[in-house]
A and B are shown apart, each in its own frame.
Chain A
């Protein structure tokens, strides 16, 4: 490994974290997916140069890494906005108007699904079920859940994100007890 000589994209910190991950598994290669998450955290996406660097660290071939990055759809293969809004389009959300959520978001931001706003702030993509079906329609903002979205009021989401609340929105309680429902 030529970490010292190669001036790559990955910071020392990222590399250290990756090495720590590698040490957790009986075979280092198992850490490749978590490692790519770390890369994406640093860079916002997983560019080819970074794939190459990761391949070196794992003693894998760059082609193998590319194969993985493209198989797993959470890795962005091109630069994305600061906020990636992933709209679930699967059945439970769709039954509760996820199409409108997506449409209204795109319209509000003036982009097509899959695109990024010019200021580099927002990217809207659609994804498959994100395991929040009982709080449909659900979206994810940078892998954090935003539940029970009101399709007709998506501008609020954008406004609050623009206001800079990094952890907005917090996960909403989804658990329902039979008793509760009875009580009502």
Chain B
């Protein structure tokens, strides 16, 4: 063991670090900052910018870049010697001589590494009196990416991202020497699915987002740790909020899931939050068939009156973008109080129907020898997953795609097109055959398809050989094919031994939180044995099997309550007699609904989400709910109250504790789980991962989120108008020592974003579009984007075989146990 450690001295501190550690990383471990520009922990070091130069004793060239130099035995390093300080100052001066110094109009000001390091290490004055290099200002290089070449410091991070991480056409360096500039192919736009990452990577203001241009200053913002609400991958994000407006989303490094990257689909999903067509007040359809605004009380009253005598004529459909807490309260409302068996989430048809716990993790791509994709293109439905697969490819994995359409075109080593389930049975048989062949020496120097000249193979025998030879197979089953006879996949792979480490199986689910909802029973079958605690607590609850989502959509119940989903967009759908929808944005269902309730979006309340590979994660509330919107759990609670229940949990924390005490799959869960480092990621700028001396957050016990928690005002009473809550457009509490920006805006004759008029009332026809907002709905409000053209009616066919309770594929028991211990020691409450 000790052989792998190397003793070094940095600025007089002796330390032992593993062989191969870079000097920057070693210094960071003991809290010594070495500034970096080109270095990024997720990309190969290039040593281009030279800002990280440190002095190393006894070297021919004493100034060595800390980002490319690995530790050597008995190395003595100085980061603050005269030479080091001088070299750093020199590099900064060089970077600034041709820089336009236009910080006052630069979006990056305040979070710019050039600004920060110059302040810390720069020389303070300029000796440059020559002509600066000039480029035409801001050039739009992509749909949402704006480039200012004068500000670029040529760190190549953006270029390396495109080439190394995204492995696709993107930004390149044009020309050479000091005439170098970042560019694309002449006349071609940089429209990658991942283009936003280069904005985040750029250490200066050379690459900025069009949606964010001149919108906000970093020092006006608060940052919250969130979870992406677009796909079921559970990508970690930072939600940046200016007053009560989400101005941007950024990636938040989680090695287990996203590796720090964020796809554009998620990155720009915040545009829907403040879009003009948000539904912001309760509405009831009047006699003329038009939706009219009413008070919450009136809307709820209308719903309660509409409940039919026969409880089984009521259906509750739950969107997967809702949190576990939402699902739990809706379950309480449905099975517990209304006593209907029909409470399901919108993607229940995809559940694999197995008791097997799937062991695959998203991170498994990194070490896999073979990544076997079954079904539709995983990169189309789960953009962020594509980058992880590519990481696997770069490491060593072979990619095999089997399905009806070509998947991951250009990256797959083997591509077999045909009916996935049939091909799977064939493959399965072949793999089970005994074999004595040796399959080594297959790898070098066969070119990979994604390297120039490589070709995708369709050679079935070679494919089978490749899989057989692999020591580590990661099977990726696309969610939407699960209902086509592939429910047996999990059992098959179990037989093949692939569901035990180092192999693994991932079931890529549609929607966001289907795994979370399944873990609390939002599926047609009710598992009585597994839910005894619940049955005891909710006396008289309905424990029958109920209707499937597809059946509900087809109007099988008299009354349907759709929370955050769009049943009338389903094939063969039919409006039931009475239709209630809680929604964020108008859709097909809204057009026909009798009652429409404004639903909060995910950034507007705390909630727990379980990702497709079973990671349980906490999404932090970042803004107050817009208008009169309410989270689903709160609406459900309100209806429960009206049905005579009492002792209901009053906030998400309490709901989640109830989940922990009642559901076997999440036994013992509480919000304290998320204090465990690694599970709960407190928000901080990404620079913290790059060697910046921000506090080491994992070492500090995480307190409850320190934003004054918004607690939904109880909806009882006749009106909720202005019940002491903050609304959009209402004055936020004054920040001490800071002038009210709106006053300043007024003086300047500008329209401050917070003074923008409230969105217009919704008419039955949908939303009016207004200037000033981008009425872009990045995310369809029902489900994940279907992958390619799918034959109608595929997804939610009835009779897809017996459904069993899905054991939550979470490796979290250990975590829960750990949190038990924590429970006894940490404080409680603090949410009010």
Contact = CB atoms under 8 A, between A and B. Distances in A.
Nearest to A73: B176
A47 B185 CA distance: 12
B190 to A, nearest CB: 9
B185 A62 contact: yes
A67 B182 CA distance: 9
Contacts of A59: 452-453
A57 B731 CA distance: 61
A63 B176 contact: no
Contact of A70 (B171, B176, B445, B452): B176
Contacts of B186: 48, 66
A60 B188 contact: no
A176 interface: no
Given A26-B445, A61-B169, A71-B176, A66 B183 contact: yes
B174 interface: yes
A109 interface: no
B225 to A, nearest CB: 35
Contacts of A52: 185
Contacts of A65: 185
A48 B185 contact: yes
A64 interface: yes
Q: On chain B, which size bracket covers the interface? A: 20 to 34
A61 B639 CA distance: 57
A145 interface: no
Nearest to B176: A71
Contact of A67 (B174, B188, B451): B174
A66 B452 contact: no
A63 B452 contact: no
Contacts of A60: 452
Given A27-B453, A29-B453, A66 B185 contact: yes
B453 A64 contact: no
B57 interface: no
B453 A63 contact: no
Interface in B449-506: 451-453
A51 interface: yes
B453 A28 contact: yes
A63 B169 contact: yes
B711 interface: no
Interface in A127-176: none
A45 interface: no
A53 to B, nearest CB: 12
B175 interface: yes
A63 B188 contact: yes
Interface in B141-174: 168-174
Contacts of B7: none
Nearest to B445: A26
Contact of B185 (A22, A27, A28, A61): A61
A58 interface: yes
B452 A29 contact: yes
Given A29-B452, A59-B453, A61-B169, A70 B185 contact: no
Interface string A8-38: 0000000000000010001111000000000
7 contacts: A28-B452, A63-B170, A63-B171, A63-B185, A67-B174, A70-B176, A71-B173
Interface of A: 22, 26-29, 48, 51-52, 58-67, 70-71
Q: Give 9 closest A-B pairs by Cβ, nearest first.
A: A61-B169, A67-B172, A62-B185, A63-B185, A28-B453, A59-B452, A63-B172, A29-B452, A70-B175
